[in-house]
Structure 1
Amino acid sequence: MSMVETKKHPEQVWTGHGYRIEPNKEHPRLYKVELEGWVVEQFLVDVKNISDEQLEYIPYQRLMVAKALQDLLDESFGETIRHILHDRLSGGFTVGLGGKDADAQDYVKFSTAFSHLAGIPNFDAMSKKYYARFSVKHTDDSDSYLRQAYRRFTLHTDGTYVDEPTDWLLMMKMEEENAAGGSSRLLHLDEWEDFEYFSNHSLASYPFTYKAPASKNVSEEVTRKTFYTWNNQPCICFIDQFVYPQTIQQAEYLQELSHSMEQSKAVIELELPVGDLVMLNNRFWLHGRGAFEQNTELHRELLRQRGRFVQ
């Protein structure tokens, strides 16, 4: 019997002061967080005087941004967000500003509120901040698939090449012009048809070496098992670009694993409007991006945060 047949999808609905959380129509395992319009408007007013510099230089200000959002809702909101991210049946949600007018720094503050309700973001060596902003355009000369618009960005988990836990991932769309294609591609580990085969393979727990390209500003090498146990449940750590096998047998295993995930019928494409974010448990969700259609005027800006849970 396949993993898809043995797992049930979440059906819970939460309602509270200023919000509603329900199953997402785009994916049966994701939730959709809907904030009432007045909440978003008041949140942006309440955090208006927290400057870019304060967010970057004073770590506790980031938590105060999270407090500003939670104070408008109720004490259980943050607990519910953390519960969803930990929940193996789900592990993810989408949320947005509901079309409210906002600038780039408003998006940073909004995403910061959610990341700090979940935990603490890791330092992002690429941007040298706790978050990264990057653009995808028609031309690119980078050394990874992150900014290359016309290639499929294959399914992977984040944090493979850093020596710190990466429990969750947040991605937010900040700007988009002349973009067709480029959808987020998502795969929940328990939906993957070949999960049991690859997780029980003789190389499943082999400590592969991961190295980052120069653009990531990380020079250390780390070793990671592809499959491991977290909270008594099997999880995955993988990205095809940065893993360095030592033998042909190891290379075949990794290639077959990646190909199987890319061909999985359980992969879904998620379209996020500008001002929306998706937050995922990075230990049992894989993510990637479809290729864009060619357009010389293509432009998309994304924001990324990734980090760890705290008690």
Structure 2
Amino acid sequence: MSMVQEKVKSFVGKYETFKVKEHPHHHRLYHIELKSEALDLFLAGNEEVNSQQLEYVPYMRLILAKRLETILGETFAKTIREILHDRNSGGFTIGMQNQTTEVEDYIKFSTALTHLVGGVNFDAMSGTYYARFSVKDTDDSDSYLRQAYRLFTLHTDGTFVDEPTDWLLMMKFAEENAVGGESRLLHLDDWEELEKFSNHPLATTRIEYKAPASKNVTQTVYNQTFYEQNGKPCICFIDQFAYPQTLEQASYLKELSDSMENSPATIALPLPVGDLVMINNTFWLHGRAPFEKNPKLYRELLRQRGYFAKV
């Protein structure tokens, strides 16, 4: 067993209201299972809360988080924070365990979870703190996000906004007639060419990023591709919205993207309806495999992203 695998298992255990397991599809991720009674208690105790209230009354998001912590215990909140901060892991999956298929429940649970971790960024694409979007057979959008039959290349979120984006949550709401389209994930420390690209002379050059019209963000930002946290390299990159100024910068970004896409450490992760994946956005990259063609294809996802609490 490698040192990394030993460290990743450090959170595995059975607690009073939840269980942390090794993830069956990725050696760095965990899968968390809640006691069904605890999840039922959270859902039943928040029937009066709805998504409109969460959008209009921001402190209700924190009230939900506190209610979830009260039911699951402070150990649960501490565990998910520590997993996300842990460089050897930085991610987990968790879900509704077939106890509900209601969209409102999905929104409430994911909101409670994220607000145990920190603050949530405003999502200009949707006009609130989360985004819901669908992937269908046809689409005329201006990015790969909704284009089902294209490879959605590996990237980090928050590249074109001037605010920290430390973590990312993606939850699957619905899926019909879908073959392929798995989430693709790459942990920086598994990438065999990390040292080559993070030590490159252009690694810390500030690259211009601009969003397409659908993102509803008009500002231009400049970000380093690689930066350091706690003595380790972190990354900020998306190929679609980068505007390098020189041939050398463009070649560097293209070679970097190709290297990650072709890395054997890039893993396809299946995610059942009602489950979510939450990852540290500073050292995990994510994307999506293409779907197989189907006129009746439909998938709906929820996205939340934000920053870690400072206390």
Instruction: Show the 5 A alignment for 1:9-88.
Output: 9-12=7-10, 13-88=12-87
Q: Hey, what's the Cα distance between the residues in 2 that align with 1:18 and 1:77?
A: 8
Aligned match of 2:132: 133
Could you tell me how far 1:191 is from its partner in structure 2? 0.2
TM-score, normalised by the number of residues in structure 1? 0.97
TM-score, normalised by the number of residues in structure 2? 0.97
Could you tell me how far 1:7 is from its partner in structure 2? 4.4
Q: Hey, what's the Cα distance between the residues in 2 that align with 1:288 and 1:148?
A: 12
Q: What amino acid is the match of 1:277?
A: L
Instruction: Show the 5 A alignment for 1:188-227.
Output: 188-227=187-226
**Does residue 295 of the first structure (1) align with residue 311 of the second (2)?**
no
Identity of counterpart residues, as a percentage? Answer: 61
Deviations 1:263-289, CA, capped at 9 Å, x for gaps: 000011100000000000000000000
Q: Is the 8 A contact 2:8 2:89 kept in 1?
A: yes
Could you tell me how far 1:231 is from its partner in structure 2? 2.8
Aligned match of 2:177: 178
Could you tell me how far 1:100 is from its partner in structure 2? 1.3
Aligned match of 1:280: 279
Q: What amino acid is the match of 1:29?
A: R
Aligned match of 2:251: 252
Could you tell me how far 1:6 is from its partner in structure 2? 7.4
Aligned match of 2:165: 166
Could you tell me how far 1:199 is from its partner in structure 2? 0.3
Q: Hey, what's the Cα distance between the residues in 2 that align with 1:230 and 1:128?
A: 31
Q: Hey, what's the Cα distance between the residues in 1 that align with 2:62 and 2:142?
A: 34
Could you tell me how far 1:53 is from its partner in structure 2? 2.1
Aligned match of 1:304: 303
Q: Is the 8 A contact 1:14 1:20 kept in 2?
A: yes
Q: What amino acid is the match of 1:123?
A: F
| SS of match in other structure, 1:10 | helix
Q: What amino acid is the match of 1:306?
A: R
Q: Hey, what's the Cα distance between the residues in 2 that align with 1:305 and 1:52?
A: 14
Q: Hey, what's the Cα distance between the residues in 2 that align with 1:105 and 1:132?
A: 14
Greater CA drift, 101-110 or 236-245: 101-110
| SS of match in other structure, 2:42 | helix
Deviations 1:228-276, CA, capped at 9 Å, x for gaps: 0123321000000000011111111000000000000001110000000
Q: What amino acid is the match of 2:248?
A: Q
Instruction: Show the 5 A alignment for 1:108-119.
Output: 108-119=107-118
Aligned match of 2:236: 237
Could you tell me how far 1:64 is from its partner in structure 2? 1.1
Aligned match of 2:95: 96
Could you tell me how far 1:59 is from its partner in structure 2? 1.1
Deviations 1:207-247, CA, capped at 9 Å, x for gaps: 00000000000000000000001233210000000000111
Greater CA drift, 233-242 or 67-76: 67-76
Deviations 1:50-107, CA, capped at 9 Å, x for gaps: 1222100111110111112111121111011100000000000000011112311110
Q: Hey, what's the Cα distance between the residues in 2 that align with 1:6 and 1:248?
A: 40
Q: Hey, what's the Cα distance between the residues in 2 that align with 1:59 and 1:257?
A: 39
Could you tell me how far 1:42 is from its partner in structure 2? 1.3
| SS of match in other structure, 1:218 | coil
Greater CA drift, 40-49 or 260-269: 40-49
Unaligned runs of 5+ in 1: none
The root-mean-square deviation of aligned C-alpha atoms, in Å, is 1.1
Q: Measured at CA, do residues 134 and 268 of structure 1 come closer, stay the same or move farther in structure 2, by a change above 3 Å?
A: same
Q: What amino acid is the match of 2:188?
A: L
Q: Hey, what's the Cα distance between the residues in 2 that align with 1:156 and 1:51?
A: 32
Q: How many residue pairs are counted as aligned between the two chains?
A: 307
